[in-house]
Amino acid sequence: MESLTLLASSRSAGKEIKFENKTFIVEEAVPESFSKFDIAIFSAGGTPSKLLVPECAKRGCIAIDNSSAFRMDPNVPLIVPEINPHALKGHKNIIANPNCTTAISLMALYPLHKEFGLKRFFAATYQAVSGTGVAAMKELKSQMAAIASGAEPKVEVYPYQIACNVIPHVDVFMDNGYTKEELKMLNETRKIMELPGVLNSTTCVRVPVMRAHSVAINAEFERPVDVGRAREAIAAFPGAVLVDDVENNGYPVPLNFQNKEKCGVGRIRKDIAFENGLAFWVVGDQLWKGAALNAVQIAELIARGGDA
């Protein structure tokens, strides 16, 4: 990286941010800002992305967008570098970053698909409050403190108290009863893995964990499965680390995967509901592999000529 520039809305312009012993002054993001850059990573939400990403692309700057604005656009590649770097070919200066739960889940699903051929899967997510933002993290802390002191917890961010609770509601509900977050798992998996016929049903749940998402997955495959081969496939995959020694309480937990590049996979076992099925557990830092890290990996891939 030759240089780094931080852009934000006019509200944040002028703020100082320290990174690696350097101080950066935040600048206002306007269309003209992108004329001087080769690559820009957007983590601003759908509305700002829809406004600024096309302007960035028009100016010859490659936009890597972390919002959902362009993920399902057939002209925009949706990239997980360990899985589909070939999809970068022919991009039109806009590249989409997947949803956090999708990226984390695919660190297990993809290597198992390569080994056995994925047919369908069910997932239940256990999503940390940091996925909602700083306000949710502060609310969890304040609610836990209130409970410890015997006070009444204040509820502002979520529909219900999150401390000592779980909420089966992430994102908005759609007409079919699923939330947008749950449908992202289906649609994004199909696009990234180039499996338009794969089936999925997911329930997304917010849990009182500060950071790192967990996902319980039950998957059915086209070919007979073997737990030993499954473990070997996970261990060999660059985006995953195998943590699967239940006799010694060896399995991934969120506290052990904060600030980690790889996602942990464990509890691998034959699924007793499917003839060719595996059940397993995946944990990953949704702020890293589920968001910023994946975007940076895409930028590094481009810098190495991976889009050629």
Q: How far apart are CA 294 and CA 285, in angstroms?
A: 11
Residue 15 shares a structural domain with residue 152 = no
CA atoms within 13 A on the CB side of 170: 27
Q: Which amino acid is at 217?
A: I
Residue 243 shares a structural domain with residue 273 = yes
Q: Confidence band (pLDDT; 50, 70, 90) for 2?
A: low
User: How much is the pLDDT for 308?
Assistant: 41
- Per the rule left: phi > 0, alpha: psi between -120 and 50, beta: everything else, 133 is left
User: Please, are residues 163 and 147 in contact by the beta-carbon 8 Å criterion?
Assistant: yes
Determine the structural domain holding residue 42 and report its residue range. Answer: 7-98+292-303
Residue 53 shares a structural domain with residue 140 = no
pLDDT in tens, 278-297: 999 999 999 999 999 999 99
Residue 248 shares a structural domain with residue 159 = yes
pLDDT at 74 over 70: yes
Total domain count, the chain: 2
User: How much is the pLDDT for 11?
Assistant: 80
In a domain, 272, yes or no: yes
How do the residues of the chain divide into helix, strand and coil, expressed in percent and rounded to 5? 35, 25, 40
How many Cβ atoms are within 10 Å of 19's Cβ, its own excluded?
9
Question: Per mean pLDDT, which range of 16-20, 127-131, 141-145, 282-286 is the poorest?
Answer: 16-20
263 among known catalytic residues: no
Residue 65 shares a structural domain with residue 154 = no
pLDDT in tens, 11-30: 878 888 888 788 888 877 77
204 among known catalytic residues: no
Active-site choice (56, 61, 100, 204): 100
DSSP states of 84-151: -GGGGTT--SEEEPPPHHHHHHHHHHHHHHHHH-EEEEEEEEEE-GGGT-HHHHHHHHHHHHHHHHTP
Residue 14 shares a structural domain with residue 137 = no
Residue 75 shares a structural domain with residue 110 = no
Residue 14 shares a structural domain with residue 29 = yes
pLDDT in tens, 190-209: 999 999 999 999 999 999 99
Q: How far apart are CA 109 and CA 101, in angstroms?
A: 12
Active-site choice (56, 91, 213, 263): 213
